[in-house]
Amino acid sequence: MTFLSPDYQSRNNRYDHHPLGWRPVPFCRKEPLGFDLEIFEAGSKLHGQVGSSAVVFSHGREIQHYVCRLPDHASAFAAEIRVMDMALTIVQGMTIWDPVRIYTDSLSLLQALASTVTVDPVVWSLKQKCLELIGTRSLGLFWVKAHVGVTGNEAADKNAKAATTHPSIDIGLLKTASDFKREVMSELVSLWQTRWVQSEKGRQTAQYYPLVDLNPKLFNSKIMQVVTGHDRFP
**How many angstroms separate the first and last alpha carbons of the chain?**
49
Looking only at the bridges linking them, the beta strands covering 49-58 and 61-70 are antiparallel
pLDDT, mean of residues 135-161? 94
Give me the pLDDT at residue 119, please: 83
The residue with greater pLDDT, 213 or 154, is 154
Give me the pLDDT at residue 6, please: 82
User: What is residue 141's three-state secondary structure?
Assistant: strand
Give me the pLDDT at residue 216, please: 72
CATH superfamily, region 13-174: Ribonuclease H-like superfamily/Ribonuclease H (3.30.420.10)
**Residue 82, Cβ density class (10 Å: 0-12 exposed, 13-18 middle, ≥19 buried):** buried
Please say whether the beta carbons of 45 and 22 come within 8 A.
no
Least confident range from 20-24, 130-134, 187-191: namely: 20-24
- pTM above 0.75? yes
Q: For residue 52, which phi and psi values (nearest 5 degrees)?
A: -135, 155
Q: How far apart are CA 33 and CA 213, in angstroms?
A: 51
Please say whether the beta carbons of 77 and 170 come within 8 A.
no
User: What is residue 44's three-state secondary structure?
Assistant: strand
pLDDT, mean of residues 199-206? 88
How many other CB atoms sit within 10 Å of the CB of residue 208? 10
Q: Where are the beta strands (DSSP E) in the chain?
A: 28-29, 37-46, 49-58, 61-70, 100-104, 139-143
Number of helices (H), then strands (E), in the chain: 7, 6
User: What is residue 47's three-state secondary structure?
Assistant: coil
Amino acid sitting at position 95: T
The residue extents of the domains of the chain are 13-174, 179-228
For residue range 76-125, list pLDDT tens digits in order.
999 999 999 999 999 999 998 999 999 999 999 999 999 988 888 899 99
Looking only at the bridges linking them, the beta strands covering 100-104 and 139-143 are parallel
Give whole-number Cα distances, 89 to 26, 141, 180, 189, in Å. 19, 14, 29, 42
Mean pLDDT for the chain overall: 89
pLDDT category at 218 given cuts 50, 70, 90 is low
Give whole-number Cα distances, 124 to 51, 112, 118, 137, 231, in Å. 22, 9, 6, 20, 59
Of 15, 34, 40, residue with least CA distance to 90:
40
